[in-house]
Amino acid sequence: MIASRDRLHRDLRSLGVRAGRTLLVHASLRSIGPVPGGAASVVAVLRDVLGPAGTLVVPTGTADNSDTSPLHLRAIQGMTSEEVARFRAAMPAFDPDTTPSTGMGRIAEEVRTTPGAVRSAHPQTSFAAVGRLASSLMGGHAPDCHLGESSPLARLYEAGASVLLLGVGFDRCTAFHLAEYRYTATPPRRLYRCVVNFGRGQQWWEYEDVVLDDSDMDRLGADFDSTGTVRHGRVGRAHAFLFPMAAAVDFAAEWFFRHRSLSKCDIRRATLT
């Protein structure tokens, strides 16, 4: 069954997406089904439903810009130490204007490359946005803050954004990570490394930030879903979830406080490295 633009528009409206909203979207184009025009059509429909006063936001992270991420480790598997050194020396610095996202999907890439889109500046966990609030939401993303108070997630929380999971599960809900910065005054931290250019040429840069762990977010999502806050529906063939971001983050902070302890938090489970 082909998902036409008209059908996608009706499905999103039936789910509860409204004009003027700020919407953080995680989406799988394949799950939606065949769409004439592909990702460009899906983004066009989302923008049309949100209208000129709305803002569409997507994650555009670059997890491969690292020397410890699973993506990087797979890339260097089987290399000699000399080959690894050459590979790392050739890794390009993150450029918010040109660096493609990795593993974020075609819909996120379509938003990132849309004329007028604004991308945040974090070298590993950037976001991109189009619409009325794009610049204010994407500005000020500190390079040593993945997804905390100096990231677009905090600005989205303040703006009363909603989250749309389109053909993906709660384990992909980036908003939950903001709660990892909030559930305790001293969340566990670790070192991260990536390739940057802060105007002094390309360099490897190391910084410390909160451990990001999505290993229990399926359970968290199921418990959050049971509160009745989440709206369910179909967009094309994809199962979709729509919910207020602030409610999700507040619930997650309390859930982490009850279900996680610092003694059990293993930094080896960190997934955004």
Q: Give the list of residues 6+ apart from residue 210 with CB closer than 8 angstroms, or none.
A: 146, 147, 148, 180, 181, 187, 188, 189
Neighbours of 144 (CB within 10 A): 13
Could you read off the pLDDT of 104-158 as tens digits, one per residue?
A: 999 999 999 999 999 999 999 999 999 999 999 999 999 999 999 999 999 999 9
pTM of the model: 0.93
In the predicted structure, residue 272 carries a pLDDT above the cut 90: no
| pLDDT surpassing 50 at residue 186 | yes
DSSP designation for 6? H
pLDDT surpassing 50 at residue 266: no
Mean predicted confidence (pLDDT) in 226-233 = 98
Mean of per-residue pLDDT scores for the chain:
94
Task: Write down the pLDDT at residue 262.
Answer: 53
